[in-house]
Amino acid sequence: MRTGCQTYSWQMSMPAYQGRIDHISEVVGRAGFAGLETEIAMLGRFTTAESLRGALEPNHLELAALTLVEDWTGEQETPSQRAAADAAIALTQSFDGALLALCQMPGADRQDLRERQKRLLSCVRDVTGRAQDAGVRTTFHPNSPEGSLFRTAQDYEVLLDGLPASVGFTPDLGHVARGGMDVLALVKQYRERVNHVHAKDMGPEGRWALIGTGVVPVAEVAAFLQSTGYQGWFVLEDESDQAQADPDAVAAQLGRYSAEVLQPLYDKGATHG
C-alpha cells in the first residue's frame, strides 16, 4: 500500500499548471510521495511515454494511474472519444503497474438517469475491454456533483452490477461522503472490487477541506485497507480552497500528513502482518 498524489489540486488553476507535469512531479516527489496520478487534461506536452517518464523518474515517482474523463452520453463512444481512450490505453501500457482510471464528466442534471447510466456503462465496457486486451488494468471513479450519474448508494449498486468483474472500483472518500453515504461502511461493502482509492476531505457544512481537517475518516479507511492486505495506491486529491490558492504548498503539507499519519498505519499493519 503506497500513497500517491493527484494532479487535481493544480487542475483547479489549470491555466497556470496545464502541461507542467515536470514542475508538479518535482513538488510531489519533494513532498515524499511514491507516485503521481495525472488526468489526461493536465499532460500538455507530456503525452509520450518517454516524456512522461522523464518527468517522473528524476523525482523518484511511479505513475500510479492515468485518468481519462469523458461524457460518454451515447450508446457507443464517439470517434474522438475512442481515439482519446486508445491513446490513454497505449500510454498507460508503457508503465508497469499503472492503472487506467475512468471517470464520467458530470452533466447538468440527472434526468433520464437509468438510461444515461446504461449508455455510460456501455461505453465504459467497450473501453475497458480494449484495455484488458492490451494488458492494462482499469478502474472506475464515480463523483458527486449534482449532475453526476453515480453519486448515491443506489447508483453505486447500479455501477458495480453493470461493470465487468475485471474492472476495479475507485471509491473517492470525499465524493462518497458528499453522496450521503457512510464512507468506511461503503469501502468495507465493496472491498473486493476496490483496486484504487482517492482521498479528499470535507467540512461538516459540505465544503471541501484540507485533508485531515474535516469529517471524512481518511486515516480510518487507510487503516482498514491495510488490515485487509490492500496493495494498491491510496491517492490524496485535495480540493480545498487552500489547494486552489497554492497547490504546491498544500502538496508539501499533504506529504507531512502522509508521513506522520498514514505511514505509521502502514508500518503498524506490516509489523502485525
AA letter at 60: H
CA–CA separation, 7 vs 30, rounded Å? 15
pLDDT of residue 267: 86
Give me the residue label for grid cell 489549470: 14
Name the pTM for this structure: 0.96
- Alpha-carbon span 181 to 196, nearest angstrom: 19
The 10s digit of each residue's pLDDT in 152-168 is 999 999 999 999 999 99
Write down the pLDDT at residue 133: 98
Residue 140's SS3 state is: strand
Give the per-residue pLDDT at 269: 64
Please, which residues bridge with residue 68 across strands? 102
pLDDT digits (tens, 9 = 90+) for 210-241: 999 999 999 999 999 999 999 999 999 999 99
The amino acid present at 190, given as its one-letter code, is Y
Residue numbers in the chain where pLDDT is lower than 70: 269-273
Which residues are within 8 A (CB) of 129 and not within 5 positions of it... i.e. 6 or more apart? 164
Rounded Cα–Cα distance for residues 234 and 244 (Å): 21
Grid coordinates representing 162 are 453493470
Q: How far apart are CA 198 and CA 85, in angstroms?
A: 21
Strand, helix or coil at 43?
A: coil
Q: By the 8 A CB rule, do 262 and 219 touch? A: yes
